[in-house]
Chain A
Amino acid sequence: MPWYRRTYDWLERRLQLEGPIKDAVLHPVPKSTASWWYVFGSASAVLLVLQVVTGILLALVYSPSASHAWNILQMLNHQVPLGWFLRAMHGWGSNFMVAIVVIHMAQVFLFGAYKFPRELTWIIGVFLLLLTLGMAFTGQVLRFDQDAYWGLAIGASILGRVPWIGGQLVHLMLGGPIINGATLTRFFALHVFILPGTLLVLTGLHVWMVVKLGINEWPMPGRLVRRETYIQEYNELAHKDGLPFFPGAAWKDAYFAAAILLAVALCAAYFGPYGPTGTPDPTIINTVPKPDPPFLWIYTVLSYLPPEMETPFLLIVPPLAIAVLLGLPFVAGVGEKSWWRRPVAVFSVMFLAVCWASFTHLATYTPWSPKMNAWSGAPIPTAFLERRTPLERQGANVFQEKQCRNCHSIGGSGGLRGPALDDVATRLTEDQLIRQVLLGGGNMPAYGSTLSPPETTALVRFLNTLHPNYQPAASDASRAVAGQGGVPSASTVERGNGQHKTQ
């Protein structure tokens, strides 16, 4: 007997792991589960391992100190060989993990896999999702750059809105009344010990139950789940029309996980690591902090909510959403599994996906937010200045200097908060422009007190030139009439349709 065989036997006699592992690996699963739709759970687990490995490597270098963290990430980016790639793998691994976990959840939901007897698997899965999001947020904080700083500030102000105990919660989260060194050590402990520890334990339980309860069979319309008969039906399916999990179904998992890892590596190599953006210094006000991709949709929602709706939304919707997810297997624990006969489920997923995609897309260009340096940094396109009079050019200066550009775009650059002004003269007459500039309205502030009369006149003259060549500026016919020193005797006003001369 060769030496490795003897070593193996020596270990096996004491560990006795061969039996359980063989049972788990070779247990029969329904043939229908050997599908490309069933690969997301294992891919999540593989990404978790990737995050643990890259996370440990990062932890070898990282220091959770408010004065050093940012510099250490700079060192990783620029001095440690492939340090930037390691950071990029961990950052992109995080994005992929959130995405794959969410896809896994949607798939499980659409396939009715949360129904009897897999209710607890689902419930633990909900907590795994929350923990994954928690890992993403705490990881963003450890970057300790401007995004992290302001992300923390938003997190703290959300917590501070909890009635009665908000103040204490903020104190607990930040380790003091403000964001400081203790905040970073707290989030380091959360990100490196508490959350991943819980995540690993719950993942173990989750997988254990999948092995013990069997992989959910492919749902067939009309094959209802009944508590009394389901186990027996499943076992028949798995044994009569089944195949061993390994290698029957596992090879697809392996291929998909490998593809995902490759995708993470490609994204890391192509897009690089996340930040760190600027130093986390609250005195730097010309910054546009943004959350990481998993939280972009919240950024949009909070930006669009009217102020009075913020607190109710923040305090009611998340607990409600979690309660709905947790309560789902108890409310709909039996019955139809197939998406063909669960239109509400299908449309819920579609609705949430469309909402999520729209909000995330909006957050990539933040149309609600003024572009604070457009006034000094976005030139007026030459076409809008050609053949303009000196006064109109001064009007363009007023337009820039009074920061109209921060909310209004011209030629595609500038803020998107207000309407684009490329052809504003076709919509508003000179008088209407003056009124709008001075009094505001329609969500625009009044600028009457900040513009002198010459500035207003120049600005409006410039705006009045903003119309295409083929379309004249909107004009007020009565102005031309008044220009002749009163209504002339035979003006077009008097000869309007349905009118006749009175004298």
Chain B
Amino acid sequence: MKGLGLVLLAATALSGCHMPGRPAPGPEVPRPESVMSFAQLYGENCSGCHGADGRNGSAMELGNPVYLAIIDDAALRNIIANGEKGTLMPGFGNAAGGSLTDKQIDALVSGMRARWAKPNVLAGMTAPPWKASQPGDATHGAAVYTQACARCHGNTSQQPGAAGSILDGSFLALVNDQTIRTIVIAGRDDIGQPDWRNVLLGRALTDAEITDLTAWLIAQTPPHPGHPYPSTQPTAERPGEQQPLATHTQ
């Protein structure tokens, strides 16, 4: 009887207490299309370029509340599903050859908003729309560049500023007008780069200025970009790091 009691005790202990080996609810490996958790979808598909938690990635900061405030769900869905032409953002939707279903893309969009959006981030101000409503005036854009951008990005690609050149042909060939417009409006608060309100001292950039600037920048793309030695001057020297390149001119 004593033995039976011990067995019963052991069985109760086994079924009652939490054991680490007990499988978590749901299948260990769900079918890929049935994954709906934002953390998993974002972690497996987006974090590589956009950074863990939407910040500090090499590509656009998705966790930027200003960005989430100016872009609507349809545009986000379209970019995730079909990619962004002219940039390195590929399409992740089934139709574009990716692995995400429409429902998963919806889960990503709503998850981004739930985690990172701040409802009042633009309260009391009118931000420029995410999409330009009219073509820009490139000639005027040059003046905007000198006024607003040159301070950090330099006047020419040969004279890069502290933040590195954005007039580099290879850089311009890898972005499109929407990339430039988005980054000018939303900025990158994760790496300390200003949004459209803080580029100029005293006032925000206007919608027209941003449109013109974008048009001018895109017009600076050389016809055959990507020559590794456009000039032998270093175009992308890291800020603050002057390497001992030969500079003598004798």
Instruction: Determine the chain B residues whose CB is within 8 A of the CB of A473 once the complex forms.
Output: 243
Instruction: Determine the chain B residues whose CB is within 8 A of the CB of A273 once the complex forms.
Output: 21, 23
- Smallest Cβ-Cβ distance to A478: which chain B residue: B246
Q: Is A373 in contact with B44, judged by CB distance below 8 angstroms?
A: yes
Q: How many Å lie between the Cα of A392 and that of B19 in the bound state?
A: 48
Instruction: Determine the chain A residues whose CB is within 8 A of the CB of B109 once the complex forms.
Output: none
**B64 nearest CB across to chain A (Å):** 15
Q: Is B48 in contact with A376, judged by CB distance below 8 angstroms?
A: yes
Identify which of B43, B174, B240 contacts A394 (C-beta below 8 A): B174
Residue interface bits B209-238, CB-to-A below 8 A is 1, else 0:
000000000000000111110011101111
In this complex, the member of B23, B47, B90, B164 whose beta carbon has the largest number of chain A beta carbons within 10 angstroms is B23
Given known A452-B226, A458-B170, contact A388–B164 (CB-CB < 8 A): yes
Dominant SS at the A interface? Answer: helix
Q: Is A276 in contact with B27, judged by CB distance below 8 angstroms?
A: yes
Q: Is A434 in contact with B21, judged by CB distance below 8 angstroms?
A: no
Instruction: Determine the chain A residues whose CB is within 8 A of the CB of B225 once the complex forms.
Output: 453-454
Interface residues of A in 422-466 (CB under 8 A from B): 430, 434, 452-458, 460-461, 465
Q: Is B249 in contact with A484, judged by CB distance below 8 angstroms?
A: yes
**A407 nearest CB across to chain B (Å):** 14
Q: How many Å lie between the Cα of A221 and that of B232 in the bound state?
A: 78
Q: Does A268 contact B (CB under 8 A)?
A: yes
Q: Does A205 contact B (CB under 8 A)?
A: no
Instruction: Determine the chain A residues whose CB is within 8 A of the CB of B90 once the complex forms.
Output: 401
Q: How many Å lie between the Cα of A460 and that of B231 in the bound state?
A: 16
Identify which of A74, A284, A374, A460 contacts B228 (C-beta below 8 A): A460
Q: Does B165 contact A (CB under 8 A)?
A: yes
Q: Is B168 in contact with A391, judged by CB distance below 8 angstroms?
A: yes
Q: Is A454 in contact with B174, judged by CB distance below 8 angstroms?
A: yes
Identify which of A81, A377, A386, A391 contacts B15 (C-beta below 8 A): A81
Instruction: Determine the chain B residues whose CB is within 8 A of the CB of A376 once the complex forms.
Output: 44-49
Interface residues of A in 479-500 (CB under 8 A from B): 479-484, 488-490, 492
**A423 nearest CB across to chain B (Å):** 15
Q: Is B170 in contact with A454, judged by CB distance below 8 angstroms?
A: yes
Q: Is B246 in contact with A272, judged by CB distance below 8 angstroms?
A: no
**A294 nearest CB across to chain B (Å):** 20
Q: Does A363 contact B (CB under 8 A)?
A: no
**B17 nearest CB across to chain A (Å):** 10
Given known A397-B58, A453-B227, A489-B250, contact A389–B164 (CB-CB < 8 A): yes
Q: Is B45 in contact with A377, judged by CB distance below 8 angstroms?
A: yes
Instruction: Determine the chain B residues whose CB is within 8 A of the CB of A479 once the complex forms.
Output: 232
Q: How many Å lie between the Cα of A102 and that of B90 in the bound state?
A: 51
Given known A269-B20, A458-B170, contact A434–B228 (CB-CB < 8 A): yes
Interface residues of A in 387-412 (CB under 8 A from B): 387-394, 396-401, 405
**A145 nearest CB across to chain B (Å):** 8
Instruction: Determine the chain B residues whose CB is within 8 A of the CB of A434 once the complex forms.
Output: 228
Q: Is A272 in contact with B20, judged by CB distance below 8 angstroms?
A: yes
Identify which of A272, A278, A286, A374 contacts B22 (C-beta below 8 A): A272
Instruction: Determine the chain A residues whose CB is within 8 A of the CB of B27 once the complex forms.
Output: 74, 276, 278-279
**B96 nearest CB across to chain A (Å):** 14
**B193 nearest CB across to chain A (Å):** 10
Q: Is A391 in contact with B171, judged by CB distance below 8 angstroms?
A: yes
Instruction: Determine the chain B residues whose CB is within 8 A of the CB of A272 once the complex forms.
Output: 19-23
Q: Does B14 contact A (CB under 8 A)?
A: yes
Q: Is A454 in contact with B28, judged by CB distance below 8 angstroms?
A: no
Instruction: Determine the chain A residues whose CB is within 8 A of the CB of B58 once the complex forms.
Output: 380, 385, 393-394, 396-397, 399-400
Instruction: Determine the chain B residues whose CB is within 8 A of the CB of A284 once the complex forms.
Output: 31-32
Q: Does A271 contact B (CB under 8 A)?
A: yes
Q: Is A455 in contact with B232, judged by CB distance below 8 angstroms?
A: no
- Smallest Cβ-Cβ distance to A271: which chain B residue: B21
Interface residues of B in 44-90 (CB under 8 A from A): 44-49, 51-52, 56-59, 88-90
- Smallest Cβ-Cβ distance to A74: which chain B residue: B27
Instruction: Determine the chain B residues whose CB is within 8 A of the CB of A85 once the complex forms.
Output: 14, 19, 21-22
Instruction: Determine the chain B residues whose CB is within 8 A of the CB of A287 once the complex forms.
Output: 29
Q: Does A169 contact B (CB under 8 A)?
A: no
Identify 25 residue pairs between A and B in the complex whose beta-carbon atoms are under 8 Å apart, listed by A's number: A85-B22, A146-B29, A270-B20, A377-B47, A379-B47, A380-B58, A385-B57, A386-B191, A387-B240, A388-B164, A389-B165, A389-B236, A390-B168, A392-B164, A394-B170, A394-B174, A394-B175, A400-B58, A453-B224, A453-B227, A454-B173, A465-B238, A479-B232, A484-B248, A488-B250
Chain A to chain B: the 10 pairs with minimum beta-carbon distance, closest first: A389-B164, A453-B226, A272-B21, A483-B232, A480-B246, A396-B58, A454-B226, A454-B173, A278-B29, A454-B170
